[in-house]
Structure 1
Amino acid sequence: MLDRYTIKMVQKPLELMANKINKMGIKADHITLVGFAFGLLAFIAIIFQWYIAGLIFILINRTFDGLDGAVARLQGISDAGGFLDITLDFIFYSLIPFAFILALPQENAVAGAFLIFSFIGTGTSFLSFAIMASKQKIENPVYRFKSLYYIGGLTEGTETIAFLVLLCLFPLHFSALALGFSLLCWITTFNRIWAGYHTLKIDQQDTELL
């Protein structure tokens, strides 16, 4: 919901960093892998209940996630790079709730499992529509620079990052925060299913008429 606004805010700083990194000859895929390594460090930190360290590693991971795209636009966006980026992103988003479960399994297991289940809903509806939109050559006017069609919702990247920050700042309230965010995820999922189905159906009918 907020991505279209936050992307504009961080675009210039990311482009400045990307220009310097590109001149150093560092590849976008390498940035993706290093960013994921910081995500693994966040996972380990949270397991040991080092929540502030986990928060720092999460923010570094998300910074690298924006940076690899900015560098890729300079070096040339590739399907392989987009595949690597989105795959590691979804693994990362599941790793953090799993870390909270391992940190305090008795308190966090049920809410954490429901949260990961909710991420399956948002993730599959996102990726399924992106595949079909690419097949039918549907373009997203808001995110033209993305390697996949980004279908919106209540819980996009910005909201998810804010949620992960709240988890690290208020770890004892994990269950309440996780359940609340899970409900927003399911609203997003059902909206994507409805909107995606009708968008694809209408587009296919228009194509057949041509």
Structure 2
Amino acid sequence: MLDARLIPLTRPPLNWLAQKLDRRGITADQATLGGFAIGMLSVPLLAFEWYAAALLAIILNRLSDGLDGALARIQGLSDAGGFLDIVLDFIFYSAVGFGFLLANPEQNAFWAALLMLSFVGTGTTFLAFAIMANKYHLDSPDYPQKSLYYMGGLTEGTETIVALILFCLFPAYFPWLAGIFAAMCWITTVARIRAGFTTLNALSPRVRVE
């Protein structure tokens, strides 16, 4: 919901930093993999309830996610890079939920599981429609810089980052925060299912198979 408004504000500093990394020979895929490795450190850090350190790992992961896109725009967009980026993003999101489960299973297990299920909903609707959008050569006017068709919603990247930060800042309230964000994710999922089905139903005639 907020990505389209914030991307123009964050792009100039990210482009400036990406230019420096590009001159040092850092590739977009290296930024993606390095950021993923750093982000996954949040799982053991959360398990030991080292929330400040986990928050730093999460922020660095999200920074690298912006940098890999900026580097890709300098070095050239690739389907392989776009695939790697989005897959690792969704693994990372669920991994953070798993980290909170490990931190306090008695309090967090149900809500962490619900959160991870919610990420399955937003992730599958996003990726499934991106596949079909490519088949029908649909453009994403709000996000032309993306390798995949970017299907928006109530919970996009910005909202997810805010949620992960709040989880770390207020871990005692994780059940409440995770429940609220999971509800937002399901609103997004249902809206995407409806919009995706309606769009594709209009584009693709039914074919009878004998």
Q: TM-score, normalised by structure 1?
A: 0.96
Instruction: In structure 2, give the amino acid aligned to 1:12.
Output: P
Residue 83 of structure 1 corresponds to: 83
Which deviates further from its counterpart, 28-37 or 195-204?
Answer: 195-204
Identity of aligned residues (%): 56
Q: CA RMSD in A?
A: 0.9
Q: Provide the residue aligned with 2:20 in structure 1.
A: 20
Deviations 1:70-89 (A, max 9, x none): 00111111111111111110
Please state if 1:126 is matched with 2:87. Answer: no
Write out aligned runs for 1:11-50 (5 A). Answer: 11-50=11-50
> Can you give the 5+ residue segments of structure 1 that lack an aligned partner in the other structure?
206-210
What aligned pairs does 1:47-58 form with structure 2 within 5 A after superposition?
47-58=47-58
Letter of the aligned partner of 2:155 in structure 1? T
- How many residue pairs were aligned? 205
Residue type matched to 2:93 in 1?
Y
C-alpha contact (below 8 Å) 1:139/1:149 kept by paired residues? yes
Cross-structure match for 1:167: 167
d(CA) in 1 for partners of 2:25 and 2:181? Answer: 40
Letter of the structure 1 residue corresponding to residue 171 of structure 2:
P
Amino acid across the alignment from 1:198 = T
1:4 & 1:180 partners in 2: Cα distance? 22
Alpha-carbon offset, residue 20 of structure 1:
1.0
Matched position secondary structure for 1:141: coil
Cα offset, 1:25, TM superposition: 1.3
Give the match for residue 208 of structure 1. Answer: none
Residue-by-residue CA offset, 1:137-173 (whole Å, 9 max, x unaligned): 0001111110001111100000000000000000011
Measured after TM superposition, the shift of residue 44 of structure 1 is 1.6
1:42-191 aligned within 5 A: 42-191=42-191
Q: For residues 107 and 94 of structure 1, what CA distance do their matches in structure 2 show?
A: 18
**4+ long deviations beyond 4 Å:** none
Aligned residue for 1:146, secondary structure, equals coil
Whole-Å Cα distance in 1 between the matches of residues 118 and 25 of structure 2?
A: 39
**Aligned residue type for 1:62:** R
Q: So what's the TM-score if we normalise by structure 2? A: 0.96
Offset of 1:182 from its aligned partner?
0.6
Secondary structure of residue in 2 paired with 1:84? helix
Equivalent residue number for residue 192 of structure 2 = 192
Check conservation: 1:136, 1:204, Cα contact below 8 A: no
The whole-number CA distance in structure 2 between the counterparts of 1:121 and 1:26 is: 33
Which structure 2 residue ranges, 5 or more long, are not aligned?
206-210
SS in 1 for 2:153: coil
Q: 1:204 Cα deviation (Å)?
A: 3.5
| 1:202 positional shift | 2.2
Which amino acid is the alignment partner of residue 170 of structure 1? F
